Structure 1
Amino acid sequence: METPVLIKAGETFRRTSPVQTDLTCSDGPHLFRRTSPVQMELTRVSESVIMSSSNHFTEIKRDKDGMKEGNDQFLIVISQVIQCETENKKLEEKLKILKGRDVHTWNVDEIVRRAKEELEQQLHAFLKDQEKLKEELSVQMNELEDTRRRYEEEKKKRSEEKNKFITSKKALEHEWLIIADLMVEKRVLNNKLNFLRAGFNEELKELESKVQNEKRVISDTHKRSLDLENIIKSLEAHYAAIADRTKQEVDRLNRKKIDALRQTSSQHEQKAHKIKGEMILLRKSITELQTKLEVQQTKEKELEIDLKQEGGDDAEITGLEEELKKKRDSLTLQVREHQKLLNIKLGLDLEIATYGGLLENEEKGLKHIHTGENLSVFGLSVYTQQKCSQHH
């Protein structure tokens, strides 16, 4: 690409200075390149010949040297022009490329304005969030105070329930003592009844032996016929009266005993119903406490989340955890008390069932005693009548 530019520069130089053009045409290559070493050697030889031949050539040599210097300077100028043209072309190409590109205009003010608006919006949102968090914190503090108040109330209720449980336990122990006394009294009455039965049987045996002895004495000592009907009737009436009195006394004692047992059983049933009602109330209170505990657990979790988000207060969290632990302990104690009351209720039901069975057995025994006494009296009368008929 450089050679056409050099040729063009040479042509322009020829047009401007014809004298120099002829000289350069005679020396051809000097227009386009510097003198080579061979040419310089030839010039030196020619110069030496010229200097040796004549002084005329000195002037020619001087002119030639001046022309060489001018040619060299001209070549330097041409090279500079070529460089300038190439630089101009490069710059023109760069300008075209830059003009062809999309020019991006800087809009820093708009970016700063948008960033400022976004920061203002964020600040406004943060202020709103701060107000909301303050309100939520006040609400949470109020809820915390409410939970503390409820905890104090539950603590008081727990102490009251504990006192009630102690009183009911004392009443139950008193009832157990009463039951033990009744059992002892029952044993005493059974022993007394057995004693009366034994005495009645002994009296019957004695009566039979007396009647038989009387018969034998009369039959052995007296040969005449005696009228024993009145004696037998009087004896029958006497022993019937004794049997009636003993029967009435036994009936009265048994009725007293049955009434006492019925009263005690009714009292035990009433107490069992009362204990059942108390157990139902305790179950309801336990379910209520469990629901309250679940609500408190959910509130505690929410409080923990809020406190963790806001930085939290470790002392309040530990206090709530301790309160929750105490409530769990109180719940476990109430569940144990409930289990104890259930065991007591089962024991009372068993006692009521045993008392019912004992009452039925006593009633059956009394019926058998009454039938046995009637049979014994009837047998005595039949026996006396048979003896009298044999005697007659």
Structure 2
Amino acid sequence: RSSSRSVSVSRSSGGGTGRISGGFGSRSLHNLGASKRISMSGGYCSARPGYSYGSGHGGLAYRVGGAGFGFGRGYSPGGIQEVMVNQHLLVPLNLEIDPNMQRVRQEEKDQIKSLNNKFASFIDKVRFLEQQNKVLETKWSLLKDQKVVKNNLEPMFDAYISNMRRQLEALGGDRLRLSSELKAMQDAVEDFTIRYEEEINKRTTAENDFVLLKKDADAAYMNKVDLGTKVDALTDEINFLRALYEAELSQMQSQISDTSVVLSMDNNRNLDLNSIIAEVRAQYEDIANRSRAEAESWYQSKYEELQLTAGRHGDDLHNTKMEISEMNRMIQRLHSEIDSVKKQCASLQTAIADAEQRGEMAVKDARAKLAELEDALQK
């Protein structure tokens, strides 16, 4: 939308005619969905001699937002006419600046900045794509140049691929060999484990036998102590009986001597008391000797039997201790062998894993290079 105002003035006088017109214009005093324009135009022509017929003044117009006001009056030759004034034109114009103009300008600036940034990024992308295009063109030219030596490269790559395949087959053979060795080691470990369990069972049985033998040895020792106590008691009893026998014998001798005196006094018969005493003494001594011999023989037999039993148990105990120490040494040796076998198994498993990893990496590398070669050959 636009508004315009024009003022034109023409005058003529005397022996010539003249025309004066003037004008000025401005645009975009403020912009809020519409525009206003005020313009004046004019000009001046030099006077020329001629016929004078008068002067004239012609119209003034103003238009805002599609509506306009105007007035005009012409002066005819021969006199000054009355000027008519339109009162509506004397009303002050509302030429205030819109408060939203700054916000709109800021939005326009932001939009311009964003568009500039997008345009700069687009330019960068275009430059990058141009560089990529140049790189691709260079690669394409190099590949075109390499097509000449295509036939010379194929045997080399075929030899490399065959070498990789041989290495892969060798790694497969090593894997089978290591797998068989691992299986053999696992069987050996299982065998040693079974033997170790058997030795553990034997050790447990030997410990139980040792406990039983210890109980028997303790019982034999207690029997020995009891028999020693009984021997001491019998010895004391024999000594007591001997003392008693000697006391009775002395008492009997005293009685016999007294009786002999009495008999010698009262009776004149001659009695052989010495023989009687000797006979009784012999009988008592025989009884004491037999008792002593029986006690000594019984004690000696029991003592020898206890010694034999203790020696036998001692030998059994010594043999059991020797067997237990031998089993302990064997168990320690088996432990060390099992540890070494476990270490060997771990090292073999590590070697197998490394070989598998190297084989897989070699296969992947060979496949990647083969794919690259195929792509290069196809291109």
Pairwise TM-score range, normalised by the shorter structure? 0.3 to 0.5
Q: Tell me the TM-score normalized by structure 1.
A: 0.45
Kindly indicate which of the two structures has a greater share of residues assigned to helix: 1
TM-score of the superposition, structure 2-length normalised? 0.47
Structure with higher RCO (Cα < 8 A, 6+ apart): 1
Which structure shows the bigger proportion of residues in strand conformation? 2
